[in-house]
Amino acid sequence: MATDALPPSKDGPATSPATPSAEDFIEVQESAEFGELRRSYRSFAFPLTVAFIAWYLVYVLLSNYAGGFMGTKLFGNINVAFVLGLAQFLTTFLIAWWYARHAAAKLDPKAEAIKSRMEGGA
C-alpha cells in the first residue's frame, strides 16, 4: 500500500504540501510577481543566447572562409583557430557559471517565494 504522505519525522507527523489547483496556477501565471520572474530570466538568457550563437557562427564562418587567418601561427604550433576553439569552451563554461550565479541571486528567491505561497495555500 503506497501513499503520497511523507514519513513522520522526530518532530511529529509530516505533512505534504498543498496541491494547487489549475486555477491557482493560472492566477500565479498572470501575477505581476511571476511576470517579473519571467522578465528577469528572459533579460538574462535571451541576450546571452543570441551573443553566444553569433560568436559560434563567427567561429564557424572564419573556419570555412578565412583559412589563412585561422591558420596564422601565434606561437609554436598554436594557431588562431586553436585559440578561438578553446575560447568557445571557455565562454560556454563562463556563461554557465554566470547563469548559475544569476539564478541563485535573482531567479531562485523569486521562484521559491511563488512556490512556497502556492504549496502553503496562501
58-71: b (≥16 Cβ within 10 Å) or e: ebeeeeeeeeeebe
Task: Output the pLDDT for position 91.
Answer: 96
Cβ atoms of residues 82 and 88 within 8 Å: no
Confidence bin at 122 (pLDDT 50/70/90):
low
Q: List Cβ neighbours of 55 (8 Å cut-off, separation of 6 or more).
A: 88, 91
Tens digit of each residue's pLDDT (9 = 90 or more) over 75-102 = 999 999 999 999 999 999 999 999 999 9
Task: Output the pLDDT for position 38.
Answer: 93
pTM: 0.72
Task: Output the pLDDT for position 1.
Answer: 46
Tens digit of each residue's pLDDT (9 = 90 or more) over 67-82 = 999 999 999 999 999 9
C-alpha torsion sign, points 49, 51, 55, 57:
positive
Neighbours of 23 (CB within 10 A): 8
